[in-house]
Structure 1
């Protein structure tokens, strides 16, 4: 049986961590071990983590990066497969891990990942997995690729090429790109989904700024002027207003309004990243 080590990065995740760990621990295919890599939580994150059979790794905030945190966990992991999961990403059911791991029967598969779904929306109809072959990952397809909020990869390959700790973010995309450069494939499995809790406006700003900076390192040719980003945001707002004018659903409107600060902050993060 394939063994999996779960790596969960945390900082002040008390709101979500308990439910996530409960769901991970109740999988039909149990994880071999679970690591919490914490970067200075000052809420009840670590107290909640201590209620579960997990190993806690502390990383000073000054040493933290997305890649560094995962590398610390992977270095201590004993499972054949490393599974990366955000603390605020709740598997949609107890078959999540089984669905991710089934793809590793194929030795040409380096990694698999599943989608992040909004908790306020129903799951879409089932669809088959998509295979990402060497050469498929380009500037145009950069947003479709390995996502470490919900991913699994071979630890043997991680030992050959760990996550790039110098990247502010997009370490997952860079790793997947390197795997495909070496001739491996990646699998996107829609059935291995998680419910992704919305980021706060502050976190959305910081994360989107880091992600775009990471993309600009992976793809030096990436250029998207700040004014174009702002124009795209304006078009998105117009489409959303038109959508709600047709739908006339007050509950859905309130839900989208509650997410608006996070979306706007994310766009501003990208704009400021471009201007650096």
Structure 2
């Protein structure tokens, strides 16, 4: 039987980590090992994780990148398969992991990722992004490198060969899957393995998320561009689409009416700024990307995950 190590990245996740760990412990196929990669939590995240049997791996704030944190966690793992999940997700069903591991029965499959959905805290437009990128039907041989490390499983032997690129400001999952495909491996999407992905972000954090992911996307695909006109057109197109869907679902209340505009503005302004960057981000900008002021000052909690969820900049339209 495949031995599974769960690798969880976290920063100040005491509000969520317990629910994830309880969900993993309740699985019909439980992980054999739990590893928490903590990047400087000042709350009870580490205490909760340790009490639930997690092995703790620390990474200093000045060393943190998403890829480096994952590599540290994977180095500490002993499993044949590496379950990579954000600390602010939780599985919907007790057979979640049983479904997620199935594609690894095919030796050609190196990367598997599962469905993501929102809950009552999810911004309406974010829920539309999840619907677009995480459909209800599984795709056993995807053929393109989209994946998402908020809810993924990778073969350890493939990680040992490729590892995650540590210099990227995000999208380390996309880059990893791209290189795996180039080596002849396959990527599988499993709709029957859903998690709830909790994003409670300020508009500044949403913009920064898409900005750093655009910087990473441009690094992976250097010819990608986005003009100001394209960014505006994409924002308008998505706002109109969101309004149409929200009206059909009887969800076009005052809050959603305003939040749709705010989310799409933050998304595509961030994407435009990222694609327009002509040099690597400096230290101050990276600090804003990874450690927004709310974490440092002890204010409103923000989640640092990727995740983007994917909610990637993989723009919803032609950005090239």
| TM-score bracket relative to the smaller structure | 0.7 to 0.9
User: Closer, same or farther in 2 for the Cα pair 1:32/1:44, shift >3 Å?
Assistant: same
Moved more, 200-209 or 8-17: 200-209
Match of 2:191 in 1: 190
Corresponding position of 1:140: none
Partner of 1:63: 63
CA distance in 1, matches of 2:176, 2:115: 18
1:131 and 2:141 equivalent?
Answer: yes
Partners of 1:243 and 1:129 in 2: CA distance: 25
Cα deviation, 1:78-130, whole Å, max 9, x if unaligned, reads 00001110111111111111111111111111111112112248x99953433
Identify the residue that residue 313 of structure 2 maps to in structure 1.
none
Aligned 8 A contact 1:199 1:262 in 2: no
The question of whether the paired residues in 1 share the 8 Å contact of 2:103 and 2:140 is answered with no
Give the TM-score normalised by the residue count of structure 1. 0.87
Greater mean deviation of Cα atoms: 72-81 or 258-267: 258-267
Instruction: Compute the displacement of 1:238 (Å).
Output: 2.6
Number of residue equivalences: 265
CA apart distance, 1:261: 4.4
Could you tell me which runs of 5 or more consecutive residues in structure 1 were left unpaired when the two chains were aligned.
138-144
Query: CA separation of 1:246/1:74 partners in 2, compared to 1, >3 Å: closer, same or farther?
Result: closer
- For the residue of structure 2 that corresponds to 1:177, the secondary structure is helix
Shift of the alpha carbon at 1:244? 3.9
Separation of aligned partners in 2, 1:261 and 1:110: 37
- Residues 261 and 33 of structure 1, relative CA distance in 2, 3 Å threshold: farther
Contact 1:168 1:213 survives alignment (8 Å): yes
What is the match of residue 234 of structure 2? Answer: 232
Please give the alpha-carbon distance, in whole angstroms, between the structure 1 residues aligned to 2:97 and 2:208. 29
CA pair 47-161 structure 1, distance change in 2 beyond 3 A: same
**Aligned residue in 1 for 2:80:** 80
Q: Secondary structure at the match of 1:93?
A: coil
Query: Are 1:11 and 2:11 matched, yes or no?
Result: yes
The 8 Å contact of residues 226 and 275 in structure 1, kept in 2 or not, is answered as no
Equivalent of residue 214 in structure 1, options 213, 216, 228: 216
Distance (Å, rounded) in 1 between the aligned partners of 2:91 and 2:271: 28
Match of 2:179 in 1: 178
SS in 1 for 2:193: coil
Query: Retained in 1: the 8 A contact 2:225–2:276?
Result: no
Decide whether aligned partners of structure 1 residues 263 and 233 sit closer, same or farther in structure 2, where only a CA change above 3 A counts. Answer: closer
Instruction: Tell me the SS of whatever aligns to 1:130.
Output: coil
Question: Who is 1:159 aligned against?
Answer: 160
Query: What is the distance in 1 between the residues matched to 2:71 and 2:249?
Result: 46
Give the secondary-structure state (helix, strand or coil) at the position aligned to 2:82. strand
Whole-Å Cα distance in 1 between the matches of residues 53 and 209 of structure 2? 29
Q: CA RMSD in A?
A: 2.3
